[in-house]
Chains A and B, each alone.
Chain A
Amino acid sequence: MIDKIFQNLTRISAFLILLIVAWIFVVLFNQSMEAMQTFGLDFITKDEWAPNVDKFGAYAAIFGSVASTFLAMILAIPVAIGVAIFLSEIAHDKIKGFFGVSVELLAAIPSVIYGMWGLFYFVPILRDFTGGMGIGLLAAGIVLAIMILPFMAAVTRDAMNTTPDILKESAYALGGTQWDVIKDVIIPYAKAGIIGSLILALGRAIGETMAVTFVMGNVHKVPTSILSPTTSIPVTLANEFTEADTSLYFSSLFGLALTLLIMSFVVIAIAKFYFLRKARRA
């Protein structure tokens, strides 16, 4: 009797996850219905975002999300792979422990703090170098890159560490240098895991709000240069959600949220189901 109750309790809790996910999609879909009916496909292809005349096109925000994430990935991937190689192959055991743990701890620092640092310390320096406002796509990309770096390096290192020692030792025995072993043994062996980890970091970056809200500028324009202030989906939501005054405005913001959710779901699902599953099987 108690046995049945307990089993059902756990089962209900497990199903709750599925329920919540489905519920999130349904609610966001329903709330964004009005915007979708009014604008149709124009919602994601037009970039005019003008609350005063009730015109909403999300293209600039979508573009900003994709561009800033892309920039962050380009900047972070080589460094993260470098750090991962350093942590798994080069560093002495003692340094490895200390450095490895501090990388993991840094991944736990709230992203809002990266944003504050970006606004007060990084943007002024960037402004001296590039002129202009400092705030914009480039600043957002760099702050985002720094924010995901610890996470990316930690998971990439874990993927590299799955390479069996015996494979590495065989390569060394054949006279390979460390770099030969890294490039011809470790990277081919851990490829799927590394790519999966990088995409997972991408999924994190695309939905990141607080690190970029400070430094992106919240201007609804497709950026004309890498220095122009622009916006992204999470930045728009963070800045405008509590200001929405018409139901169409509101519905458009929910439309943005739905777009973001679908984007990140697709990205994470690709990482999980394709690459990481392949890595686990190998």
Chain B
Amino acid sequence: MTAVQKRIFINKLALIFSTLSALIALAFLFWILGVLVMKGLSALNWNIFIYEGAPPGYEDSGLKHALVGQLILVGMATGVGVPFGILAGTYLSEYGKNSKLANTIRDISDIMMSAPSIVIGAFVYAIVVLPMGHFSAWAGAIALGIIMIPIILRTTDDMLQLVPGTLREAAFALGAPKYKVILSVVYRGAKAGILTGVLLGVARVAGETAPLLFTSFNDNFFTTDLNQAMPSLTVTMFNYATSPYEDWQQLGWAAAFILSMFILGLNIAGRLILLTRKKGK
């Protein structure tokens, strides 16, 4: 073999290895997706949306309790996480800019974004559940909200910085005070980006299980009482899947399917918003 042939051979080998690893990865991931769709679809029926949890063996059992609980928890978390995240992102982009302080906050927030979510759960347990004396929807929502803030902060900061400085200067030249410039010029310019950030943030916390395990805990019945334990799709899924009862495991897969579709939908919607905006320009 000449040197050139050897290089061509090694090149082929490397490309084959790389394509193979892509195929292996794809195979595993489609296996998981396939299981999720097959199991989820076969377990899906209207009863799931009508009935709440029941002991194993009951015909009329569903996931209404967990679906509603999930919406309440994620909704409340969004109520906590989005305003704080957007305001903090605004500070970094519009007031802090490249100062040392702003960069420190960016770094800390980035680290927070990757911190283990179960630790956030333990923290909220100590500051909310212990003083209250029992699990509550509040605790779950606060845990999810804390996880959400750094995500929203990051995207808001990035998106606001994309708004051209000339727009701000034009508004200042008209005599607008800074808050007015931010509220009606900068926010308006970054609307699509911020919305995408919010959607991705919601999608991210909607899939969290670990921080809910000992904050909102779980409940097999329908409840809207925010001072009590609140069921969620993720924790219900965890409990049902680890139970030995076949019908509960079925419901667990249905919950997994519904939740994944919700999260994938949010992700796709977020991407589409950014995409259509880019095209519109």
Contacts and interface: CB of A to CB of B under 8 A. Distances in A.
B-side binding surface: helix, strand, loop or mixed? helix
Chain A CB within 10 A, most for which of B32, B88, B117 = B32
Nearest to B179: A6
Interface in A1-41: 2-3, 5-7, 9-18, 20-21, 23-24, 27-28, 31
22 contacts: A14-B87, A14-B92, A17-B150, A81-B21, A86-B18, A106-B29, A110-B256, A112-B209, A113-B32, A113-B36, A113-B259, A116-B241, A117-B36, A149-B29, A177-B7, A179-B10, A204-B114, A238-B210, A241-B121, A265-B115, A268-B110, A272-B107
A111 interface: yes
Interface of A: 2-3, 5-7, 9-18, 20-21, 23-24, 27-28, 31, 78-83, 85-87, 89-91, 99, 101-106, 108-114, 116-117, 119-121, 146, 149-150, 153, 177-180, 182-183, 200, 203-204, 206-210, 213-214, 234, 237-238, 241-242, 253-254, 257, 260-261, 264-265, 268-269, 272-273
Contact of B11 (A6, A15, A180): A180
Sorting the interface of chain B by its residue count into under 10, 10 to 19, 20 to 34 or 35 or more gives: 35 or more
B126 A27 contact: yes
B245 interface: no
B170 interface: no
A261 B11 CA distance: 43
Interface stretch (B42-50, B53-61, B220-228, B260-268): B260-268
Nearest to A257: B122
Given A86-B18, A110-B259, A273 B118 contact: no
B24 interface: yes
Contact of B122 (A11, A150, A178, A241): A241
B92 A21 contact: no
A96 B32 CA distance: 21
A11 B17 CA distance: 51
Contacts of A213: 238
Interface string B74-99: 00000000011101101110111000
Given A206-B116, A254-B126, A108 B252 contact: no
Contact of B182 (A6, A89, A206, A268): A6
B117 A268 contact: no
B21 A78 contact: yes
Contacts of A177: 7-8, 10-11
